[in-house]
Amino acid sequence: MQDILGMTYYWLKAGHLIFVIFWMAGLFMLPRFFVYHQESAPGSAEDTAWVERERRLLKIILLPSIVVVWVLGLVLAFTVDAWSQGWFHAKLLLVLALSGYHGWMAAYAKKLARRERPLEGRKLRLLNEVPGIAAALIVVLVIVRPF
């Protein structure tokens, strides 16, 4: 019985990491899409194509990925009693921040679809760095467990 539980843990962990990769890929792609979208002429065929690309990325990759990441991550946290460990609290805070970032980007995609363009391309390029910094910090917390 212990072997089955042990193997289940590794499958959960593998699934969690796979969907983290999918989620991060989408978080890297979407702000870049926004930059290209904003460079297109409002109302043009290219503008319409970017709206559809952004919608598909959000619906097909980002939404399912964030759901699976959270579900498997919480199951893993309960499995190893991570709630009592300091590194986990820091990781959870960063994942909450990334989830908020994800939500902000989904809202920004809706603004672009309405032909609103509140941010400059430069700011969007800077925002593209957020998931990379968060991912690096999360990896250090999970692997090194500094506290």
pLDDT of residue 121: 86
Q: Which residues are annotated as a binding site for heme?
A: 16, 91
pLDDT of residue 1: 45
How far is the C-alpha of 48 from the C-alpha of 95, rounded, in Å? 32
pLDDT of residue 6: 74
Model pLDDT for residues 43-101, shown as the tens digit of each residue? 999 999 999 999 999 999 999 999 999 999 999 999 999 999 999 999 999 999 999 99
> pLDDT band for position 7 (50/70/90)?
confident
pLDDT at 3 over 80: no
Average pLDDT value for residue range 17-25? 98
Q: Which residues are annotated as a binding site?
A: 16, 91
Model pLDDT for residues 110-121, shown as the tens digit of each residue? 999 999 999 988
Burial 101-133 (b: 16+ CB within 10 A, else e): bbeebbebbeebbeeeeebeeeebeebbebbee
Residue for token digits 């460990």? 85
